[in-house]
Amino acid sequence: SQLKELLNVSDMPEETPSTNPFQATSSKRKVKDRIGTVIFACFTYFVLACALFIFGKITYDGAPVLFTSEAPFINTKFFAESPQTLVEFTNGAGELIRMDQTDFTVFKEENPDATINDEHTFSYSGGGIAGPLVGTALLVIVCMAVSLFVGVAAAVYLCEYAKKGKLVGAIRLAIMNLAGVPSIVYGLFGFAFFCLAPWFPVFTYEVNIETTIGAFKIPLTDGYLSFQGWGNSLLAGGMTLAVMALPVIIAACEESLKAVPRGFREASLALGASKWQCIRTAVLPYAAPGILTASVLGVTRVAGETAPIMFTAAVADKAKLPWQDAQGSGVFWFSDMLTQSVQALPYHIYTVSAKLPADEAINDMRYGSVFVFLLLVVGFAMISVILRARYRKKLKW
């Protein structure tokens, strides 16, 4: 009691723990805070509403193409066949009939007396999307095999080995600038560098005299190693996409490496590890979730690009899959497969949406292709989230 009297505690107001000292006290400030909150919320929910509308529209139009009311409840034909011409006609009873070109040819052979009126054909609007799906997958595989190796190596050098200076600063600035270059520029670069340049080698049985700058006979075989360029091919398209994905992957990997605590490196070096042993055992494993995210970001960017593959790899119509049309055996077969042009889903969507006249007959191909592409992007995002979460659970700092 004497201490309270000395300190005058009884005269001091009691503190209320629920009071926020930063909360607005005047009515004007409260109104301004509410108005600001409402404005920010409106912008946020507007973006969310736009995304939901776009995804909902694509799902509403495309889901009926992929899913059926009968077992197996999935339109397997849409995934198993490559695009082909769609034929539309009316029979003698005036019924509108639509058939793929192969089915229409069989129908005419089996029914030579059938009445066919108002026949119309629509290119690339029948069949399925097996060819574009396979071509897109192969392009992404080639792209990521190159860009991940080069991107992670470049990020490790910039973050762990390179000393701060004007040169490293210029390299980082160049990487940032490359991330903002339009895709059409990458397409033109890939066309000039990877398609037209003759210094890239291929394994072949027949040397192209017009483009080769040198060919060497391979012993014990009938083939050659010819420096004649790749032309419009899967390899040229994949390398172009790899160059396009490199800025995103390098920047993301470098940030992941920087996020690893410095103490991990110091402890590893203090125990006698070399610089590379330190990076391999004490840095890269803990940066793996970020590197994984970077790889998925690179995939989602390059998988949807149209301009680069349009100039370097894609064709609108191809009857066979790349490995079905490859010639030779062994390394010659593999080289021939990589130097073939392929179909790609983004270019296929562009072709059926922009190059063909608006007609109800081709809506199934348009909506179905876009819906499948949306599912691919969402699938990549989900895989990224799941794998990153699992890595983070295993790695405890």
pLDDT tens for each residue of 220-271:
888 888 898 888 899 999 999 999 989 888 888 888 888 888 888 888 888 8
Residue 297: what pLDDT? 74
Higher pLDDT among residues 318 and 41, named by residue: 41
- 73 phi and psi angles, rounded to 5 deg: 65, 10
Note whether 221 and 203 are within 8 A (CB).
no
- In 10 A of CB 382, how many CB atoms? 11
Q: Which amino acid is at 171?
A: I
Residue type, 5: E
Residue 264: Cβ within 10 Å count: 16
pLDDT score at 22: 60
Residue 246, number of CB atoms within 10 A of its CB: 21
Q: What is the pLDDT of residue 10?
A: 47
Helix, strand, or coil (residue 378): helix
**pLDDT tens digits, 122-159:** 888 888 888 899 998 899 889 888 988 999 999 999 98
Cα distances (angstroms) measured from residue 295 to each of 103, 117, 133, 245, 279: 42, 53, 20, 9, 19
Place of tokens 């994949």: 238
Residue of 368, 340, 333 whose CA lies nearest to 74: 368
Question: Mean pLDDT, to the nearest integer, of 37-56?
Answer: 93
Using the predicted structure, report yes or no on whether residue 165 has a pLDDT greater than 90. no
Place 92 in a pLDDT band, splitting at 50, 70 and 90: confident
To which residue do tokens 């995304």 refer? 51
Average pLDDT rounded to a whole number, residues 71-86: 84
**Cα separations in angstroms, 83 against 13, 145, 278:** 81, 28, 52
pLDDT of residue 6: 45
Examine the pLDDT at 301 and tell me if it is beyond 50.
yes
Cα torsion 247, 251, 254, 256 to 10°: value is: -130
To the nearest whole number, what is the mean pLDDT of the chain? 84
CA separation for the pair 109, 100 (Å, rounded) = 14
Predicted structure pTM score? 0.83
Residue with tokens 């599912």: 375
For residue 357, give Cα distances in angstroms to 58, 360, 365: 20, 10, 13
Q: What is the pLDDT of residue 50?
A: 94
